Every structure is written in C-alpha cells, then in structure tokens.
Amino acid sequence: MIDVLIADDHQLLIDGIKTTLDDVPDINIVAEANNGLQVLKILQSKKIDVIIMDINMPQMDGLDCTKAVCKKYPDTKVVALSQFDEKRFVKKMVKNGASGYLLKDSGKDEIVAAIRKINSGEKYFCERLSINIINRELSTLDSKSLFPQLTDREIEVLKLICKEFSSPEIADSLFISDKTVENHRANLIAKAGVKNTAGLVRWAVENDFVD
Amino acid sequence: MIDVLIADDHQLLIDGIKTTLDDVPDINIVAEANNGLQVLKILQSKKIDVIIMDINMPQMDGLDCTKAVCKKYPDTKVVALSQFDEKRFVKKMVKNGASGYLLKDSGKDEIVAAIRKINSGEKYFCERLSINIINRELSTLDSKSLFPQLTDREIEVLKLICKEFSSPEIADSLFISDKTVENHRANLIAKAGVKNTAGLVRWAVENDFVD
DNA sequence: TTTCGTATAGGGGAAAACCCCTATTTTTTT
DNA sequence: AAAAAAATAGGGGTTTTCCCCTATACGAAA
C-alpha cells in the first residue's frame, strides 16, 4: 500500500485526483494540503510514501517545500505536478529533490504509473514534457550529479556575482573578508567547470541559479 | 478579408483553431502547415496576411521561420502561438519580427482580436503573459529599438566574452589590439546598462546573444 | 563637405580577478 | 571520537578588468 499526500492550492484538483485514484487498490490518499507549510506539518505526524506536489502554492511553494521535505524526510518521495512543462521548473524541482514530474492534464494511467514507479525508487517524467531531450538526462542522473553540489554560501556568493557585485562588495554585504569571497569564487569556477567569472555567470543563468 | 495561415505540428490544434474561426466573417483560413519549411513553401505561391505560428515545430521551428518570413515577405504578419509565456520566447519572437504573441489556451475573442489588430499593422500581446511589464515595452517599441543597437563587431566581441575569452585572447582571435577589445567591452557594458562583465554576460544570455 | 558612427589603438593608473599556496575554526557526517 | 567538509582568512604575485583620457582612418549620412 502506497500512502500518498496531495498538495495543491486548488481543492478541485485535489478532489479530481482523489476520485481518479479511488479505485486503485495499492494507492491510498491519506492526506492533503493546500500549501507547503501544511505539508511539513502533516509529515510531523504521518508517514508518507509519495507526495504529489504542485509547484505554485501560496505561503510555501512546491520548490521550497520539496527541498525541505527531501532534506528532512529522505524516504518520502516527491513528484512534481504542474501545468507548465517548462525546462526551468522541471530542472529546479529535480534539483530540489523531486523524483518525477507530471503535467496537470495527465491521464489516470500516467499518474498511477508515476506513483508506483517513484514509490519503488525509480524516476518518472511525463512523456509529454516538451523537452523530451532532457528526459534521459534527468532520469539517469540524480539531483546530486545533475549539478555540482554547491554549498549554501557558494550559492549566496554566486547570486551576488550575477547581480554585478564585486568581491569587495560581496565581502561587505556578507560581513566576511574579500579573500574568503575570492575563495568561494574560485571554488565556484572550479565546480562549474568554467574558466572565469564570465563563464560562471553564463553557467549560473543557464542553470537557474539566478532569479 | 484576412487570409490566415496556421502553422503548428499538432493537427488537433490546427483543427481547433479552424473550427473556432469558422464563423468569423472577415477571417479566412486559407492554408495550414506542420513546420517552418512548409510555411515558406506555401508563401511562394499564396499571399498570406497573417501567420499564426507555433514556436515548437520539427524541421524548422517558429523562431527561424519567423525570421525568414519577415525578411522575405515583410507584408505578411506573424503572431506567435505558444503554450509558454516565457520572457525569452516572447522577446526572441519579437526580435525575429513577430507582431504579437498568443498563448495556446487563449479564448476565441482573443485570437480574433489579435488577428485583426495585427493585420491592421498594430501589435498584440496576450493579456495573460506572465510578464505583463514587458507588454508596454514590446507594443510600443519595435524589434530594432527593443535592444540597444550593437554593431557587428561588438556582437562578435560579446559572443567571445561569453565563451570565456579574455581580452587578450579575443584580440588574438580577431587580429586586433587588446586595447580595441577593451574599448568594445566598455561600450558593450555601457550599451547594456550594466556594471561589469558579469552583468554583461547575464544580459547577453537573457537577451539571446549567445548560442 | 562636414558631420557622425564605427573600428582602430594607445597611455596611464586603480581596482578587481585570478592563481598559487597555507591555516584555523566550525559544522556535519561517519 | 574521529574524519570530512565547509567557512573562514591570509600572503604574495600575475593578469585582467575597468576607467579616465586622446587620436587616426574610413565610410556613410546629412
């Protein structure tokens, strides 16, 4: 039996999925939430196998919630549910730990297949993702190897570099030495596999570390 | 009477639009295509007023096709049709000469309004484009003034900067002095309205000067 | 014909980036 | 408790970027 939580701010959609999955014997909808905070609250008391997670939610969205869930409850799998088949969202969700991606107009078979696959530890990406090219990329690689693992501080520095801050300016705004910033910058350049700050910024923009 | 061509690789969507526009007296669907090459072929024999152009198509996509059409047939207007309301796509299509942008889930009224406006030489941008801010930018400005006018040489230098070339390296590969490259770099930074090379690269990526 | 824009190139100097290192403290993981 | 990873910071140097200028040559536009 797979215990599933549905998180979406549209109750209609939750009801729709519940109805759809009503007669599936091995899938059990045991909880629902309308935003990311509710998800975290439910996880404190209930053990959940798979979360069907909308990306756009108030208070705490699916991106941040997925990140939090995958960190605190690594056994709980997340499948993203969205109306957009946008490269950025897909990549971002996978980066945050999601095991799969479904579009909101997916059929019953697809949803059921996704839940089963993901519960068994596999990945599942909706066939109709416009960028099918990245399917293979994403399903073979996991969130750790997809991107070099940047530390929180490195991401912080990277974002400031992309906002045209110089090393001394970053040092001032983070209350650290400019030598430390230069170290972070060098590590970022190495991790991104680029040659200089220009390459780093391009890599950051193309891999959604900005905005 | 407005003669319209629909270009989309999903026949279902073409049929949908045809049905929708069936009873509009002044709009006539006179042709359809499933990719960009077919569009160019049709234009050789038929005079078209407005092309409803999908962005994602096999063989030749909407971006390249729009560029080709606007160059060869300046009287034929193009309205982009896409499921993505992504800044990048919108900007790219406008840059390539499109007169408007519609989302695929637009209503009949919106499609009809767009075709009429665009046929009369105006611009039309779907209200629900998530980045409504740029609506005013785009509808008042044309494709030439949308971006600061970079010279050919500047674009050449810019692309090399984005490819992680340093000024001396660029100088070597273009057979000019590194001082000249530095001048181009400074002019680029000024034209882009950014502070340093990091900002320039980000601006270049976001405005599709790379790749 | 004169002006304007573009491409070219230089001088000179300050700031930043880049590249080696080493090293300590703190946090996380095992 | 020990080991690993992350964050901190420094020394010392080279290269590049950045910011002032000036200046010439050329072609196109006014």
Instruction: Tell me which of A83, A196, A211 to substitute to probe the interface with B (most B C-beta atoms closer than 10 Å).
Output: A196
How many Å separate Cα A98 from the centre of its chain? Answer: 5
Report, as an integer, the average pLDDT of B160-177.
92
Q: Which CATH superfamily is domain B2-140 in?
A: Response regulator (3.40.50.2300)
Contact A198 B164 (CB under 8 A): yes
pLDDT over 70 at B137, yes or no: no
- Dihedral angle sign, alpha carbons of residues B3, B94, A85, B61: positive
- Strand C contact with A12 (CB < 7 A): no
- Cβ of residue B166 closer than 8 Å to a chain A Cβ: yes
In chain A, CATH 3.40.50.2300 sits at: 2-143
Count contacts between A and B (CB, < 8 Å): 51
Which of residues A6 and B141 earns the better pLDDT score? A6
**Minimum CA–CA partner of B166 in chain A:** A196
Distance, CA of A180 to CA of A171 (rounded, Å): 8
Per-block mean pLDDT, blocks of 10 residues, chain A (211 long): 88 78 89 88 89 81 80 84 63 75 78 88 67 41 54 90 93 93 92 91 84 65
pLDDT of residue A108: 81
DSSP states of B70-88 as a string? HHH-TTSEEEEEES---HH
Q: Is B162 on the interface with A (CB under 8 A)?
A: yes
pLDDT digit string, tens, across residues A114-172: 899 888 887 787 665 544 434 344 444 444 445 567 888 998 899 999 999 999 999 99
Which residues in 121-180 of chain A line strand D, with CB less than 7 A from it? 149, 151-154, 174, 176-177, 179-180
More confident residue, A110 or B58: A110
Q: Is B161 on the interface with A (CB under 8 A)?
A: yes
pLDDT at res. B148:
64
Higher pLDDT, B86 or A203: A203
Distances in Å between the Cα of A21 and the Cα atoms of A50, A123, B152 are 14, 20, 58
B139 has a pLDDT exceeding 60: no
d(CA A178, C1' D14) / Å: 18
Start and end residues for every CATH 3.40.50.2300 domain found in chain B: 2-140
Looking at per-residue confidence, does A202 or B128 come out higher? A202
- Residue B85 has which token pair? 């309301």
Give me the CATH code for the A152-206 domain, please. 1.10.10.10
How far apart CA A102 and CA A24 sit, in angstroms, is: 18
Chain B segment 181-210 residues within 8 A of A by beta carbon are: 194-202, 204-206, 210
A36 vs chain B: nearest CA distance in angstroms? 23
**pLDDT for the residue numbered A134:** 41
- Among A120-134, B57-71, B173-187, which stretch is predicted with the lowest mean pLDDT? A120-134
d(CA A206, CA A194) in angstroms, rounded, equals: 13
Exposed, middle or buried: residue A174 (CB in 10 Å: 0-12, 13-18, 19+)? Answer: middle
The answer to whether some atom of strand C lies closer than 7 Å to the beta carbon of B151 is: yes
Q: Which CATH superfamily is domain A2-143 in?
A: Response regulator (3.40.50.2300)
pLDDT higher at B142 or A62: A62
Percent of chain B topping pLDDT 70: 82
* CB A108 under 7 Å to nucleic chain D: no
Among candidate residues A94, A68, A67, A69, the one with its CA nearest the CA of residue A82:
A94
Q: Please give the helix or strand (H or E) that residue A33 lies within, else none.
A: strand A27-33
Q: Cβ of B120 < 7 Å from strand D?
A: no
A162:B56 CB<8 A: no
Place B133 in a pLDDT band, splitting at 50, 70 and 90: very low
Distances (CA, A) of A164 to A169, A198, A200, B183: 9, 11, 12, 20
